[in-house]
Structure 1
Amino acid sequence: MTHAEGFDEVHILWISEGMSCDGDTVSVTAAGQPSIEDVVGGLIPGLPKVHLYNKVLSPTLGGEEFLAPFRAAASGELEPFIFVLEGSVPNEKINGDGFWSSFGNHPDTGEPLTLNWWLDRLAPKAWAVVAAGTCAAYGGIHAMAGNPTGCMGLADYLGWDFRSAGGLPIVNVPGCPVQPENFMETLVWVLQHAAGEAPPPPLDDKLRPQWLFGKTVHEGCDRAAYYEQADFAKDYNSPKCQVKVGCWGPVVNCDVPKRGWMGGVGGCPNVGGICIACTMPGFPDKFMPFMDAPPGGNLSSTLIRPYGAFIRRMRGITNATANVEPKWHHNREVLTSGYDPRWRP
Structure 2
Amino acid sequence: MALLDTLKGLKMSRRDFMKLGISSAVLLATLDWRHIIRAFAKSAAPFEIPIVWFESQDCAGETSSIVQAVDPDLVDMLTGFTSVMGPGTVKLLFHEAIMLEFGEYSLEILKAAAEGRKLDLLELARESPFGKYYSELVKAGVIPEEHTVVDFSKGFILVLEGSFPVCSTEPGPRTTCMNRNEALYCYIGEEHGKPVTCTEWVRRLLSNALAVVAVGTCAAYGGIRSNKVLEVPPG
Query: Shorter-chain TM-score: which interval?
Result: 0.5 to 0.7
Distance (whole Å) between structure 1 residues aligned to residue 82 and residue 71 of structure 2: 12
Question: Which protein is richer in strand relative to its size?
Answer: 2
Amino acid at match of 2:116: G
* Distance in 1 of aligned mates of 2:62 and 2:90: 23
Aligned to 1:75: 115
Give the 3 Å change call, closer, same or farther, for CA 140–8 of structure 1 in structure 2: same
| In the alignment, structure 1 residue 102 sits paired with structure 2 residue 187 | yes
1:33 is displaced (CA, Å) by 3.1
Distance 1:6 1:28, change over 3 A: closer
1:28 corresponds to 2:66: yes
Partner of 2:198: 115
Q: Does 1:43 align with 2:82?
A: yes
- Structure 2 unaligned segments of length 5 or more: list them: 1-41, 118-151, 170-176, 231-235
Q: Distance in 2 between matches of 1:104 and 1:86?
A: 18
CA change 1:53–1:142 in 2 (3 A) is same
Counterpart residue number, 2:54 = 15
The runs of 4+ residues in structure 1 deviating greater than 3 Å are 3-7
Preserved CA contact (<8 Å) 2:58 2:162: yes
Q: Aligned pairs, how many?
A: 141
Inter-partner Cα distance in structure 2 for 1:58 and 1:44: 21
Q: Note the C-alpha offset of 1:67.
A: 0.8
Aligned to 1:129: 212
**Local SS of the residue matching 2:49:** strand
* 8 A Cα contact 2:114 2:207, kept in partner: no
- TM-score where L is the length of structure 1: 0.37
8 Å CA contact 1:73–1:122 kept in 2: the answer is yes
Offset from partner CA, 1:102-134 (integer Å, 9 cap, x none) = 12111xx22111112112111131111111211
Summarize deviations over 1:159-209 as a string: whole Å, max 9, x none: xxxxxxxxxxxxxxxxxxxxxxxxxxxxxxxxxxxxxxxxxxxxxxxxxxx
Name the SS for the 2:51 alignment partner. Answer: strand
2:99 counterpart residue number: 58
Instruction: Indicate the structure (1 or 2) with the bigger Cα radius of gyration.
Output: 1
Report the Cα distance in structure 2 between the residues aligned to 1:63 and 1:121, rounded to whole angstroms: 19
C-alpha spacing 1:116/1:134, structure 2 compared with 1 (3 Å)? same
Following the alignment from structure 2 to structure 1, what is the Cα–Cα distance between the partners of residues 207 and 215? 18
SS of alignment partner, residue 130 of structure 1: strand
Q: How far apart are the structure 2 equivalents of 1:71 and 1:29?
A: 26
The question of 1:142 aligning with 2:225 is answered yes
Is residue 40–residue 49 contact of structure 1 (8 Å, CA) maintained in 2?
A: no
Identity across the alignment (%): 33
CA drift at 1:7: 4.1
SS at match of 1:37: helix
Between Structure 1 and Structure 2, the one with more helix by share is 2
Instruction: Tell me, in whole angstroms, the C-alpha distance in 1 between the residues paired with 2:43 and 2:70.
Output: 31
Gapped regions of structure 1 (runs ≥ 5): 148-345
* Aligned partner of residue 179 in structure 2, secondary structure: coil
> Could you tell me how far 1:70 is from its partner in structure 2?
0.2
Question: What SS class does the counterpart of residue 58 from structure 1 fall into?
Answer: coil
Normalized against structure 2, the TM-score is what? 0.53
Structure having greater relative contact order (Cα 8 Å, sep ≥ 6): 2
Letter aligned with residue 200 of structure 2: W
1:164-175 aligned at under 5 Å gives the runs none
- Give the root-mean-square deviation of aligned CA atoms: 2.4
Q: Which amino acid aligns with 2:218?
A: C
